[in-house]
A = this chain, B = another copy of it.
Amino acid sequence: MKRSERLVDFTNYLLNNPNQLTSLTFFSNRYNAAKSSISEDLLIIKKIFEESEVGIITTYAGVSGGVVFTPGISNDFSLVLAKELLDELLKDNRILPGGYIYLSDLLGDPRVLKNIGKIIAHEFRDSNIDAIMTIATKGVPIAQSVAEILGVPFVIARRDPKITEGATVSVNYMSGSSARVEKMTLSKRSLKSGSNVLLVDDFMKGGGTFDGMRSLVSEFDCQLAGIAVLAEGVFNGDRQVEDYKSILKVEKLDIQSGEIQVSLGNIYNNK
């Protein structure tokens, strides 16, 4: 195979196998090419992936060595994507009764989801995430998007356990916005103990849902790797979780006038 052809296949292969170590021997056999040629290919791909904000190519030497593609963007590009999301949020009238914001269109748009995933995956790139956890339903597309980029599984907690889950583990939590005790469950076989778990959701007010997921994480003998949310809403009082990362922050929301003020979230503090 010629270099030009090889580069097309090589690029496609790496994009489809993020965060996986693949030996140079594998590519050498795949393309029937010398390892030196494969290394030269990788230098070209590395350069373009970095310039185009696709991600990082890391090569490891030695017998157990190989190449890993880590999808990634720069802080600057993360900011560009967040500003695009902010513009989307200010379009149309998104205010719903109760101080919620209509997000379903964004959460059903694969391009938007990919950008949300890139921002969150970038923010937690050094956290050795093993799994993503979210709660049904709105958080699911975000979880899937982050999981795809990081190359890890995602699990879905539910408020209404279904018969198709098998045995489950449940925890109670305080829903901050309604000050009620609620329950969430997770299928027992869905999460391995010892996993380093990132919690994601679309919207946070009091943080009660995240607090519930945090309880699930410890019930499963896992560690909390972090908390990420697309948008934090207006909330008076103490949140039930403090150490979260938000892409967007709703500063003000007036249901009567339809006025809404949104700024960038705390991911972009001091950046």
Residues of B within 8 A of A162 (CB): 137-138
Cβ of A190 within 8 Å of any chain B Cβ, yes or no, is: yes
Given contacts A7-B8, A105-B190, is CB(A96)–CB(B164) below 8 Å? yes
Given contacts A156-B108, A163-B98, A190-B105, is CB(A48)–CB(B5) below 8 Å? yes
B100 touches A153 (CB 8 A): no
Residues of B within 8 A of A65 (CB): none
B189 touches A52 (CB 8 A): no
- In the docked arrangement, what's the CA distance between A187 and B156, Å? 22
A108 touches B190 (CB 8 A): yes
Residues of B within 8 A of A174 (CB): none
A203 touches B108 (CB 8 A): no
Given contacts A4-B44, A153-B108, A156-B108, is CB(A103)–CB(B164) below 8 Å? yes
Q: How far is the CB of A125 from chain B (nearest CB, A)?
A: 17
A48 touches B153 (CB 8 A): no
Which A1-45 residues sit within 8 Å CB-CB of chain B?
3-5, 7-9, 11-12, 15-16, 44-45
Residues of B within 8 A of A137 (CB): 136-137, 140, 156, 158, 162
Cβ of A155 within 8 Å of any chain B Cβ, yes or no, is: yes
Cβ of A147 within 8 Å of any chain B Cβ, yes or no, is: yes
A104 touches B9 (CB 8 A): no
Choose among B4, B15, B49, B151 the residue that contacts A15 (Cβ–Cβ < 8 A): B15
Q: Which 9 interchain pairs have the tightest Cβ spacing?
A: A110-B148, A8-B48, A136-B137, A11-B11, A100-B164, A140-B140, A108-B153, A7-B7, A108-B154
Sample 11 A-B pairs with CB under 8 A, ordered by A number.
Answer: A4-B7, A4-B44, A5-B48, A7-B8, A7-B11, A100-B163, A102-B187, A108-B190, A109-B153, A110-B148, A137-B158
By a beta-carbon cutoff of 8 Å, the part of chain A in contact with chain B is 3-5, 7-9, 11-12, 15-16, 44-45, 47-49, 52, 54, 96-98, 100-105, 108-110, 113-114, 136-138, 140-141, 144-145, 147-148, 151-156, 158, 160, 162-166, 187, 189-190, 203
